Amino acid sequence: MELKNRSPLIIPVFLPNLGCRERCIFCNQRAVAPEVPSPAEVRESIRSALSRFPSDRRRERQIAFYGGSFTAIPEEDQSAYLREGHSFLSSGRIDSIRVSTRPDALGEEVLSLLKKYGVKTVELGAQSMIDEVLLLSRRGHSSKDTVSAVSQLKHWGFEVGLHVMLGLPGDSFDSFFETLDQVIRLNPDFLRIHPTLVLKEAPIEALWIEGKYSPLTLEEAIRWLKRGLLKLEKVPIPVARIGLQLTKDLEHCILAGPCHPALRQLVDSEIYFDMAVRFLATHQNERDPCFICHPGEISSVRGQKNGNILRLKKRFGIDHIHVQGKEDIPRGSLLLHTQKEKILSLRSDFS
Is the separation of the CB atoms in 150 and 188 below 8 Å? yes
Among candidates 13, 14, 22, 28, which has minimal Cα distance to 250?
Answer: 28
Decide if 9-261 and 266-349 have a common fold: no
Q: Any idea what DSSP says for residue 115?
A: H
C-alpha 337/C-alpha 344 separation (Å) is: 9
Strands 333-337 and 290-293: antiparallel
8 A C-beta contact, residue 244 and residue 197: yes
Among candidates 98, 8, 84, which has minimal Cα distance to 46? 84
E strands, 22-104, where? 61-66, 96-101
What's the pLDDT score for residue 68?
82
Q: Where are the domains of the chain?
A: 9-261, 266-349
Q: For the chain, how many residues are written?
A: 351
- Tell me how far apart the terminal alpha carbons of the chain are, to the nearest angstrom: 40
Q: Which residue from 334, 351, 222, 347 is spatially nearest to 279, judged by alpha carbons?
A: 334
d(CA 194, CA 320): 37
**H helices, E strands: number in the chain:** 12, 13
* Three-state DSSP class for residue 95: coil
For residue 295, give the H/E element and its range.
none
Per-residue pLDDT of the chain (351 residues; tens, 9 = 90+): 344 456 789 999 988 877 777 778 888 766 555 678 999 999 999 999 999 988 777 889 999 999 889 999 999 999 999 999 999 999 999 999 999 999 999 999 999 999 999 999 999 999 999 999 999 999 999 999 999 999 999 999 999 999 999 999 999 999 999 999 999 999 999 999 999 999 998 999 999 999 999 999 999 999 999 999 999 999 999 999 999 887 777 788 899 999 999 999 999 999 999 999 999 998 888 888 999 999 999 999 999 999 999 999 999 999 999 999 999 999 999 999 887 888 898 887 776
User: What confidence tens digit (pLDDT) does each residue in 42-97 have?
Assistant: 999 999 999 998 877 788 999 999 988 999 999 999 999 999 999 999 999 999 99
Q: Do the beta carbons of residue 173 and residue 219 sit within 8 Å?
A: no
CATH architecture of structural domain 266-349: 2-Layer Sandwich (3.30)
Q: What pLDDT sits at residue 6?
A: 67
DSSP state of 58: S
Q: Quick one: 281 exposed, middle or buried, by C-beta within 10 A (0-12, 13-18, 19+)?
A: exposed
Q: pTM surpassing 0.85?
A: yes
Q: How far is CA 308 from CA 241, 275, 292, 293, 294, in A?
A: 23, 11, 14, 14, 17
Burial call 149-158: b when 16+ CB within 10 Å, e when fewer: bbebbeebeb
9-261 adopts what CATH topology?
TIM Barrel (3.20.20)
pLDDT value for 4: 44
pLDDT of residue 31: 57
